Amino acid sequence: MSTDDLRTLGDSLNTRVFGRAHEHHDTLGSTNDRAAAWLREGGPHGLLVTADAQTAGRGRNGRVWSSPPGHNLYVSLGLRVASARRDLSAVGLAVGLALYEGLGPVPGLGLKWPNDLLIGDRKLAGILCESRWGTDVELVVGFGLNVRREGIDPALADVAVALDDVGVHEGRVTLLARLLGALQGRLDGFLIMGFDGMRDAYERANLQIGTRVRVNSGAEVFEGMALGIEDSGALRVQTDAGRRVVHAADVTRAR
């Protein structure tokens, strides 16, 4: 049995709910789109969609997410959430923390606010959370994670990194089963207690806290010291002109 055949994932799961209802596709436009459609069709909380390749993968702000076949993880979870959850905007940070913890000790691994995992200055994984609001919230939690160097578009070789670049060689089935276990734990906690209970752990794992960063919101660009994270998931930045609270922006290390 191939350790990369995600159709066999169920045999390795140790989750209560996440991934117990699972669709795997050889090729799919977007795992997020399929998970959202499955929720609309009445799919259960914790449903999972995976694909070996995506033809229309995307990241935050509609950016293209390169999704070549066979070597990486393209994953979306579908969740049903009470609409009273006020800090739902921080869910992507909870997802990032769960992935960070689920990966275990990886050299140079850390979080980049708001939705990436890095090894050094190169991207290992990206997270995209999307929601549809009604009586309850239908929430899709998607992520792409580079497992092998062969699965990285050569055009992105300087800015992307894979696990096997740093000596981590693991089958996708074992890896995803472990990540789903970590996600189940952290997201269950988030949906009950909110982000506050995991904020300290997130800040410790974040590579930007305590460093000077460049913030580009689209409307303006400024620099300052990244101080920490609000309960809402917003980033606190101390600039020369005073403290700023950043809710949505591209944040990179200042050069």
- CATH number for the domain spanning 62: value is 3.30.930.10
**3-state secondary structure (DSSP) of residue 46:** coil
| 52: its two tokens | 């070996």
**Residues 70 and 180 placed together within one structural domain of the fold:** yes
- Asked, for residue 236, whether it belongs to a domain, the answer is yes
End-to-end CA distance of the chain: 48
**Residues 248 and 188 placed together within one structural domain of the fold:** no
Task: For residue 62, give every residue at least 6 positions away whose Cβ sits within 8 Å of its Cβ, in sequence order, or none.
Answer: none
- Asked, for residue 146, whether it belongs to a domain, the answer is yes
**Residues 214 and 113 placed together within one structural domain of the fold:** no
- Asked, for residue 149, whether it belongs to a domain, the answer is yes
Element housing 18 (H / E): none
**Residues 29 and 93 placed together within one structural domain of the fold:** yes
**Residues 155 and 236 placed together within one structural domain of the fold:** no
CB 221 within 8 A of CB 196: no
- Asked, for residue 1, whether it belongs to a domain, the answer is no
**Residues 59 and 176 placed together within one structural domain of the fold:** yes
- Domain range for 77 is 6-204
CA distances in angstroms from 67 to 75, 98, 121, 211, 222, listed in the order given: 11, 22, 20, 32, 32
CA distances in angstroms from 239 to 73, 207, 213, listed in the order given: 38, 18, 10
| 112: its two tokens | 């980049």
- Asked, for residue 11, whether it belongs to a domain, the answer is yes
Q: What is the pLDDT of residue 56?
A: 79
Q: What is the pLDDT of residue 132?
A: 87
**Residues 241 and 221 placed together within one structural domain of the fold:** yes
Give CA–CA dist 146/161, Å, rounded: 7
User: Alpha-carbon dihedral of residues 161, 166, 167, 171, nearest 10 degrees?
Assistant: -30
- Asked, for residue 171, whether it belongs to a domain, the answer is yes
Q: What is the pTM of this model?
A: 0.93
Query: Between helices 91-103 and 172-193, what is the axis angle to 10°?
Result: 140
pLDDT in single tens digits along all 255 residues of the chain: 468 899 999 999 999 999 999 999 999 999 999 999 999 999 999 999 999 998 877 655 555 555 666 689 999 999 998 765 667 889 999 999 999 999 999 999 999 999 999 999 999 999 999 998 877 889 999 999 999 988 888 888 889 999 999 999 999 999 999 999 999 999 999 988 889 999 999 999 999 999 999 999 888 999 999 999 998 899 999 999 999 999 999 999 887
**3-state secondary structure (DSSP) of residue 179:** helix
Number of structural domains the chain divides into: 2
**Residues 144 and 219 placed together within one structural domain of the fold:** no
- Asked, for residue 140, whether it belongs to a domain, the answer is yes
Q: What is the DSSP letter of 209?
A: T
**Residues 199 and 215 placed together within one structural domain of the fold:** no
Q: What is the pLDDT of residue 1?
A: 44
- Asked, for residue 70, whether it belongs to a domain, the answer is yes
Q: What is the pLDDT of residue 154?
A: 83
**Residues 246 and 158 placed together within one structural domain of the fold:** no
**Domain CATH for 224:** 2.30.30.100
Residue with tokens 């693991």: 170
CB 151 within 8 A of CB 71: yes
Task: For residue 90, give every residue at least 6 positions away whose Cβ sits within 8 Å of its Cβ, in sequence order, or none.
Answer: 190, 194, 195, 231, 232, 233
**Residues 71 and 102 placed together within one structural domain of the fold:** yes
Q: What is the pLDDT of residue 113?
A: 96
Give 170's strand partners.
none
CB 64 within 8 A of CB 57: yes
Give CA–CA dist 250/252, Å, rounded: 7
**Residues 148 and 239 placed together within one structural domain of the fold:** no
Domain boundary among 167, 186, 204: 204
Amino acid at 86: R
